[in-house]
Structure 1
Amino acid sequence: MKKIFLSLTMIAASLSFAQKKEIANAVKAADQGDVNGTAAEVSKAEAIFGDKIYLLEPSLQEQYYYAKGLGLVKAGKIAEGAQILSKITDLGKSTIYSGKDNDKNKVYFVGKEQADKLGAGLSLKEEKYSPSLASKLGNQLNASYQTINKKAYDLYQAKDLAGAAKQFEEAYYLSKAAGAENQSLLYSSAVSYAQGNKKEESARVFDQLIAMNYTGVETVYTAKNKKTNAVDNLDKATFDLYKKMGASSDYTDFKEEKTPSKEEEMYDIQSALLMEMEKYDQAIDVAQKGLKKFPNNAKLGNTLGLAYYKAGKTDEFVNSLKSQIAKNPNDAVNYYNLGVILSKDASKQKEAEEAFNKSISLDPSNKNALTNMVYLIMGDDSKTVDEFNALRKAKKIDEANKVMELRRARFAKAIPYAEKAYALDPKDADMVSLLKGLYNATQNTAKYNEFKAKEAELKK
C-alpha cells in the first residue's frame, strides 16, 4: 500500500480548520445559552492551540474570548468570565503585531508588551482590529452588571469591605466587557480592599490602575433647576441640550467642573502597602515612578528613603534623604534619619552630629534625636575602657590618663543633650541611669547623688 505523507502546510491548515470549527460551535452554543455545550467546544479548541492564543487570528481570538467568557458568566463564574470577555475590548484598543514565528506559523500578538515578550527577534507588522461581537454583549451582561454593582454598594454600606471590593472588581470587568469601561469601579475595589486590610489584593488592583494611567478625573455637569432652585447633576447629553435651549430651558447656571485627580494618592497608598508587606524593591519602584510625576511629594520621598533603608541600600538611602532635605530644609525627621544612618559610619561622625543638631534645632522635643546625639558623642565606651585598662596594664600611665581625660570631655559634652532628653521624660529609667553614670565619670558628685536618688525612686 502506498504511503501518503502530508506536508507541514497541510497539517497546519487542517489544524486551523479544526480550531475554527470548534470555536464557531462554541460561539453558537454560548448564544443559545448552552453552558455545557460551550465548555465542551471551548475545551476542544484549547486542546488544539493550548496556551498559544497568539496563533489565532484576531477574529478567532475574539470569538474564543466571547464564547469562553460568556459561557463562564452564564455558568455563574462571573468574575472569571468578565475578565476574559474584557479581552475583546483590549483587542480593539491595542495594536496587533502580526508576522511569522521561527516555525513559519502565523502569529498575532496583542499589544507591544506581548509582542516584546513572545515575539522578540521576529519581523512583525502593526495593524488594527475592530471587534464585531462586543456589541452583542451589552444586553447579555447588563442585568448581571446592575445586580453586582448594587451588591457592591450594599456590601460597602454594610462594612463588608472585602466582599464589596470583590464585587466592585467584578462590576468593572463586566462594564469593560460590555464596552462601557468604568475604571472608577476598579478604584473603588482597590480602596475597599485596602480598607478591609486585604493588602495583597489592594496592591494588585492599584498596580493595574497605575499601569492603565488611571487618574480618576471626571467631568461633572451641573445646572440650577428653575422650579426647585436645586442644583442637579446632569449627564452630558442632557446638559448640552438644556444649555442650548437658552432662556427657554428649565435650567440656568450651567457648570462643567473637573473632579480632583486621584493619581498622586494612588502612588502614596500603593508604596505604603508594599512597605507594609515588606516588598521593599517594589516599593522603591513605585515611589520612584510617583516622584517622577510628583517631585514635591514629601510622603513619597520619605517612603522611598525608608524602602532604601529596609532593603539595605544605604548609599541610596543617604542620597534620598539629602534630596528630600534640599526640597524641604525644615524637615526635622529627615535630618534625624540622616543622622542615624551616618552615625553607623565611623568616618562620618561629624556629619552625623551636624544632622542631629539640625534636627534638634528644628524640633527640640525630638527625644530620639537627643538620645542618639548622647550616644554618638560618648562613642564606644566599652572600647575606651578596654583601651584604658590595656594601657595601665602596660604601665603606660600618662597615655591611660589621657584616654580618661578625653572620655570625661566627651561625657561633659553629652550631658546637656542627656539633660534635655530627661526633661522630656523624667520617668525614663534608662536616661536617669545614664545621667548618673555621666556625672560620676565627670566627677560631679552632687549631680551624681541627685540622679542616684532618682534612680532608686524609680525602682520602687
Structure 2
Amino acid sequence: MNTKIATLAVSMLMTLSTIAQKNEIKAAEKALKKKDYATALTEISKADGLISNADDKSKAKYYYIKGMALYAEGSDTGNIDDVITSFNALKAAEEASGVSKYSIEVSGIITTIIEKINTESFAAYQAGLNGEMDKYGEAAVGYDKIYRLMPQDTSFLYNAALVNSVGKNHEMAISQYQELLDLGYTGITTIYTAKSTVNNEVLNYSSYGDMMGQVKLKIAKDPKTEITKSKYMDMIKAIGSNYLALDNNEKALEFIRQARAENPTDYNLIIEEGTIYFKMGDNQKYMEKLEEAVQIKPDEAELHYVIGTIILESEENLDKAKEHLEKAIELDPKHSNAYLNMGAVFFKELKPIEDEMNANATNFAKYDKIKAEKYDPILKKMLPFIEKAYGLNPSDDVKNQLNSIYETLGMEKRAE
C-alpha cells in the first residue's frame, strides 16, 4: 500500500513538473514573439532544472527560445557563445526527435553569425600580421567559435590552431592541433575548378557534378580536379614546434622525431631537432644535426657560421672551424661575425706561441725570434678579418682589438 502511494506521489510530481515546464516555455515563447527578450530569458530560465527530463520536441523548443532570446536579433554579441551552445543543442534535439521545426530558421541565423565572426576574425588576423600581436588571439577565438557553431567544418579549428601558433598562444595551439588529430582531420580536400568561356576567369565549384554541368552547357571549359595534400604532418610538426617554444623539450622531441620519420630530409625539422638537443645541453647531438643539415643545404651561410663557431669553442679541430667560417664568408661576404670568429681561430693558434714567448721572457733574443718567426705571421693573417669585421659592424671592442694588433705589429695605423 505504501509502495503504491509512493509511486503515485512520484507520478504526480512528474506530472506537475511537466505542467510547470510547459507553462514556463509558453510564457517565454509569448515574450519572444513580442521581442521582449529579457522577459523571454527570465521565463525560459525557470525551466532550466526541468529540461533534462523533457522529451526531444520540448527540448528543441526550449533551446530555440533560449537561443533566440540570447541572440536578440544580433543586438547582444556578448552572448554569442551561449547562443552557439543553445542552437547546437536545438539541432541535436531535433535530430533525435526526427522532426525539423526550428533548424531551418536557426541555420540562417547561424550563417549570419558565421559570416560576421569570420569577417571580424580575418580582420584581426590581418592586424596581427601588421604587428598588433594581441589581435592574433582575437582571430583564433573567432575561428574556434565558428568551429563550435559548425563542427562539421574542421578547417576553422585548423585556422584557430594555426593563428594561435603564430600568435605564440602555444598551449591553446597544441590543444587544438591535438583535437584535430583525435578527430582524424587531415585537411585533404578536393578542389573543382574550370575557366569561364567568356573571360577565362577561374571558377570554383562545390562538386564535380556542378563543374561538369557548366562545362556541358559551354559556360565553362578546361575542368580540373585537384586533391590537396594532407596536413597531418604539418600538425605533428606544429605541435613539436609549440612544445619547443614552451621549453617542453621531451614532448617537442617526441613530435619532431615522429615528423622526421616521415620526412627524414626536411631541413627545418633537422634544425628544430638540433635546437632541442642544444637546449637539453647535448652538444654532441646538436652538432650531429647541424652536420646533417649542412649536407642538405650546403649553401646556407649561417649554418656554416654556427658549425664553425661550435667547433671553435670546443677547440677540437681549428682547421675544420676555419673551413666552415671561410665557407660562411664566401657565401655571405657581409657576415661580420664570421670574420670576427675567423680572427678568433687565429687568436687560439697564438696561445701556445704566447706561452713559448712568456717562457723566454728573460731571453730577449729568443723572445724576439719567436715573435718575428711565429707570432707576427699569424697576427698578420688575423688582421684582415678583424679589419673587415670592424668595417662591417664598428664597435669599441673590435676597434680596441684592431688597434692592439696594429700596435703589436709595430704599425702606425689606427682604427678611429
Offset of residue 314 of structure 1: 0.9
Paired residue type of 1:415:
L
2:264 — aligned with what? 295
CA contact (8 A) 1:268 1:299 kept: no
CA 1:235–1:421: 2 relative to 1, 3 Å? same
- Structure-1-length-normalised TM-score: 0.58
CA 1:135–1:346: 2 relative to 1, 3 Å? farther
Aligned with residue 326 of structure 2, among 357, 378, 394: 357
C-alpha distance in 2 between matches for 1:282 and 1:403: 55
2:103 — aligned with what? 139
2:153 — aligned with what? 182
2:300 — aligned with what? 331
Structure 2 residue 372 is matched with structure 1 residue 431: no
Offset of residue 352 of structure 1: 2.1
Structure 2 residue 116 is matched with structure 1 residue 151: yes
After superposition, the CA RMSD in angstroms is 4.8
Structure 2 residue 134 is matched with structure 1 residue 164: no
C-alpha distance in 2 between matches for 1:163 and 1:259: 28
Offset of residue 374 of structure 1: 1.1
Structure 2 residue 413 is matched with structure 1 residue 450: yes
Deviations along 1:137-196, one digit per CA (max 9) or x if unpaired, are 9939746743542232121244254223212112223433xxxx2121112212333455
CA 1:400–1:149: 2 relative to 1, 3 Å? farther
C-alpha distance in 2 between matches for 1:348 and 1:40: 79
CA 1:196–1:324: 2 relative to 1, 3 Å? closer
Aligned with residue 414 of structure 1, among 353, 378, 382: 382
CA contact (8 A) 2:192 2:211 kept: no
Deviations along 1:301-330, one digit per CA (max 9) or x if unpaired, are 333323322332211111101111122222
C-alpha distance in 2 between matches for 1:308 and 1:211: 28
C-alpha distance in 2 between matches for 1:445 and 1:401: 13
* Structure 1 alignment gaps of length 5 or more: 1-24, 45-62, 90-131
3-state SS of paired residue (2:316): helix
C-alpha distance in 1 between matches for 2:360 and 2:198: 99
3-state SS of paired residue (2:150): helix
2:130 — aligned with what? none
Paired residue type of 1:365:
K
CA 1:190–1:397: 2 relative to 1, 3 Å? same
Offset of residue 228 of structure 1: 8.2
C-alpha distance in 2 between matches for 1:303 and 1:235: 39
Among all aligned residue pairs of Structure 1 and Structure 2, give the percentage whose two residues are the same amino acid.
22
CA contact (8 A) 2:192 2:208 kept: no
C-alpha distance in 1 between matches for 2:165 and 2:97: 32
Paired residue type of 1:151:
K
Aligned with residue 242 of structure 1, among 202, 208, 213: 213
* Structure 2 alignment gaps of length 5 or more: 1-17, 29-43, 71-78, 125-134
CA 1:387–1:247: 2 relative to 1, 3 Å? closer
3-state SS of paired residue (2:224): strand
C-alpha distance in 2 between matches for 1:271 and 1:402: 59
